[in-house]
Amino acid sequence: MSGFDKVVTSYEEALAGLEDDMTIIAGGFGLCGIPENLIKEIKRKGTKGLTIASNNAGVDGFGLGLLLEDKQIKKMIASYVGENALFEAQMMNGELEVELTPQGTLAEKMRAGGAGIPAFYTATGYGTPVGEGKEVREFDGRHYILEEALNGDFSIAKAWKADRHGNLMFRKTARNFNPMAITAGKISVVEVEEIVEVGQLDPDEIHLPGIYVNRLIQGTFEKTIEQRTVRTA
Amino acid sequence: MSGFDKVVTSYEEALAGLEDDMTIIAGGFGLCGIPENLIKEIKRKGTKGLTIASNNAGVDGFGLGLLLEDKQIKKMIASYVGENALFEAQMMNGELEVELTPQGTLAEKMRAGGAGIPAFYTATGYGTPVGEGKEVREFDGRHYILEEALNGDFSIAKAWKADRHGNLMFRKTARNFNPMAITAGKISVVEVEEIVEVGQLDPDEIHLPGIYVNRLIQGTFEKTIEQRTVRTA
Amino acid sequence: MALTREQLAQRVAQEFQDGYYVNLGIGIPTLAANYIPSDMQVVLQSENGLLGMGPFPLEEEIDADLINAGKQTVTMVEGAAIFSSADSFGMIRGGHVDLTVLGAFEVDCQGNIASWMIPGKLIKGMGGAMDLVAGADNIIVTMTHASKSGQSKLLSECTLPLTGKGCIRRVLTDLALMDIEDGKFILRERAPGVSIEEIINLTGGKLVVPDHVPEMTF
Amino acid sequence: MALTREQLAQRVAQEFQDGYYVNLGIGIPTLAANYIPSDMQVVLQSENGLLGMGPFPLEEEIDADLINAGKQTVTMVEGAAIFSSADSFGMIRGGHVDLTVLGAFEVDCQGNIASWMIPGKLIKGMGGAMDLVAGADNIIVTMTHASKSGQSKLLSECTLPLTGKGCIRRVLTDLALMDIEDGKFILRERAPGVSIEEIINLTGGKLVVPDHVPEMTF
């Protein structure tokens, strides 16, 4: 009766089957709520030629920035990048292809991928470089462009708490892209801070049901802060 | 400093501005999680010529069925109807226009209406009467039809708990269409079982943020059960 | 002998696998939940927004806020999750449910299904059926093989308005289990004591009969 | 005198109304939160998934899981709510945010805005800016009226790649507050001590100067 137990015990097992040239949908915003240990495992594995959809690309030496060091990423689909020098260098010399996608469109493309919506119209990007080559259509006198769903071979994400069936809860703004990213991957791998027994989470408080989760692993997290801003009392 | 206090104290005030021939998006599934007192108030007001989008149309004498008695509904957009004799009679003799919409498409049309997505593609209904007259398009070798967003002049919905800012929590399967319905109305009115002070709800556990709620009222509910099924111990 | 409702439900349950998320339609499909093998766990999805549906409640457990897609009062099992209708159909449409079982009026050998409307007679609406057949890869349709008057429901082309086009690949009737491939029904199993001839006679669409067609076992 | 950053923020804050849900971009727009009138309540939306953003945390309150769209550590006020990025941009795209304030490189009198890319120089991406300008009805762009070398940023046509087309109706610069109507900038207010002539000289696009153009008051 272990069909629903999604827990794996090693990061190797968590990313088994990830191969060169695959597409990965990743959760996280900046360095907040990123699957930091799954990223480290991809670095260790040395998988190459990856296409990664993620709002950001990490920083030098942390998050997805790690995968730039050995040139593992072929293409980034992101809304905001270049917080790290290596990224900019690889983009400028053409080693790294970048598809800039508005943040809301990126989130919606992931959601659509998970929800069986192959494409949707949005006003975002109409009349801008983002709209170039895309179908334009008028609804109610306003212009919209057609955007297609995003799906991945894998998705990697981070949640706060899970039960063994993969029912997930996120914490504060570490939720961000994680729920949609998880739904959009053929094999979804989620690392969490805590795994509880089935029945311990209130069904009304689950942010994402376990049906979307294929593999679950408990990790420990550095949670690097990008912009440490404080006030004084 | 009452700009965010959404609480109104009478059902009359809750539905002020609702006029003949308007469109209403309503939450609820069957008789579960329906805004039963708001419906009663519409009956009392006698508003006519209404277009109502709701998954179901209530039963004789309860829920939206009440609005059939005085022929207040001109058109129903629903996925499953005819649980009541009056509905069938009015539909058959042409007094009531009915636009049957698949349940998932209906939910997605409401979500799209609230989320600024004017239209989306779905495989649901392709090659069936639902797809007639709609654009068909192929993505990745599969056929999809184009469905447009739904928006209303008003939305009426039911939640479980709210704070005065309109942050909402739903209970069990009474959630159903309520969150999307609320986002799709120009003026959204929500009735709840309990209103708590601001700060008493955990930000991570709010199902729908108060930004979508214009008016909030505390009610008492009959919660009629449509199919009372039990097992014996 | 044609299968009873209980046998139909039992045969459906043989399609379950440990770890399957399953959506069961109203009627016979719902009964299949009673026959989940004891060495197996299956989680039931109810399209009104519940994953992890349990049995009907005891009288004292009845909760008006907890119903299934058939509007019946139900319970939740441990590990259940609640979500909105939009999220529920995202789950269905996105192909995340492993198995969907639903009834029908007619199925044809092109994989078309008609299950929601009889013009002039029954116009209650499609509910979630169109979304379910469009979203699932793995669908079993359960129905009687023929009407009471002996009219086949397994046709070369559906006569009633469709629920979905080209989406059905497996049909279980009271007489037989069939797959649909390349415009033909393929007879896979027959009900105990039912002859292949009887099945051929009551099947309107093109039917392929392999050399060996085992009887169902329960 | 051209407005200081603080004065720009103060003037933005005069656009707030009690009960407004507001999204403030990085930089000067964010500063406006410091000038919310005390008799008024405004709720701040941060597009990474937070409604009800509070001030920066005290040292001991810092939480890596709680940041704003500029990736800065923040806090939550009472009544805050957390949601996913898809839900956040549903909120934005659906027009539920009452006021959006953001910076720009250029704005033109057709209501076009360029704020995210300088070809060959700055290619960091648009983040949420394209969604914000496409979703909001009520947008204020804040920027300096001209570059350091005296080039106007208020043009008849943007020269940089656009963030949004025809979506800007109000611009606040260090010299003036302008509306955009029918392909023209309409001068509404001028910074204290700044002459209309100076504004005319530094505005590239067509500018309409009404008979009375009051000085801003703080």
Q: What 8-state DSSP symbol labels residue B127?
A: T
pLDDT at B215 over 60: yes
Res B216: pLDDT: 98
Catalytic residue among C15, C47, C189, C197: C47
Q: Mean pLDDT throughout B8-33?
A: 98
**Could you read off the pLDDT of D90-118 as tens digits, one per residue?**
999 999 999 999 999 999 999 999 999 99
Res A1: pLDDT: 45
Res B225: pLDDT: 96
Lowest-pLDDT choice from A34-48, A96-110, B84-98, C145-159: B84-98
D5's enclosing H/E stretch is: helix D5-13
B contact chains, 3+ CB pairs < 8 A: A, C, D
Are C and D close enough to touch, i.e. 3+ CB pairs under 8 angstroms? no
Q: Mean pLDDT throughout C115-123?
A: 87
Using the beta-carbon criterion (under 8 Å), do B118 and A139 form an inter-chain contact?
yes
More confidently predicted of A175 and B1: A175
**Which residues is C139 bridged to in the sheet?**
C100
Q: Mean pLDDT throughout B117-129?
A: 98
Lowest-pLDDT choice from A78-82, B124-128, C65-69, C176-180: A78-82
Q: Mean pLDDT throughout B148-161?
A: 98
pTM of the predicted model, to two decimals?
0.98
pLDDT at A233 over 60: yes
Asked if residues B125 and B103 have their Cβ atoms less than 8 Å apart, the reply is: no
In sequence order, the 6+-apart residues with CB closer than 8 A to the CB of B126 are B136, B143, B144, B145, C134, C164, C165
| DSSP secondary structure of A35-75 | -HHHHHHHHHHT--SEEEE-S---BTTBGGGHHHHTT-EEE
- pLDDT band with cut points at 50, 70 and 90 for residue B187: very high
Number of neighbours of residue A100 by Cβ within 10 angstroms: 22
Q: Which residue has the tokens 């199902």?
A: B207
**Could you read off the pLDDT of A124-133 as tens digits, one per residue?**
999 999 999 9
Q: Which residue has the tokens 């109409």?
A: A126
Res B1: pLDDT: 45
For A105, the token pair is 């469109």
Mean pLDDT of chain D: 96
Instruction: Give the Cα separation of A226 and D189 in Å (integer).
Output: 39
Phi-psi region of D139 (alpha: psi -120 to 50; beta: other; left: phi over 0): beta
**Could you read off the pLDDT of A39-74 as tens digits, one per residue?**
999 999 999 999 999 999 999 999 999 999 999 999
Mean pLDDT of chain B: 96
Q: Mean pLDDT throughout A28-39?
A: 98
**Could you read off the pLDDT of A140-158 as tens digits, one per residue?**
999 999 999 999 999 999 9
Res B88: pLDDT: 87
Chain B residue set in contact with D, beta carbons under 8 Å: 1-4, 111, 113-117, 163, 165, 167, 183, 198-199, 201, 203-204, 206, 209-212
Using the beta-carbon criterion (under 8 Å), do A118 and B204 form an inter-chain contact?
no
Q: How far is A74 from chain B (nearest CA, A)?
A: 23
Instruction: Give the Cα separation of A153 and A53 in Å (integer).
Output: 11
Closest partner residue to D78 among B3, B117, B198, by Cβ?
B198
- pLDDT band with cut points at 50, 70 and 90 for residue C192: very high
Q: Is C78 a catalytic residue?
A: no
* Dihedral over alpha carbons C90, C96, C100, C105 (to 10 degrees): 40
- Percent of chain A whose predicted confidence (pLDDT) is above 70: 99
Short-list A183, A177, A154, CA closest to A50:
A154
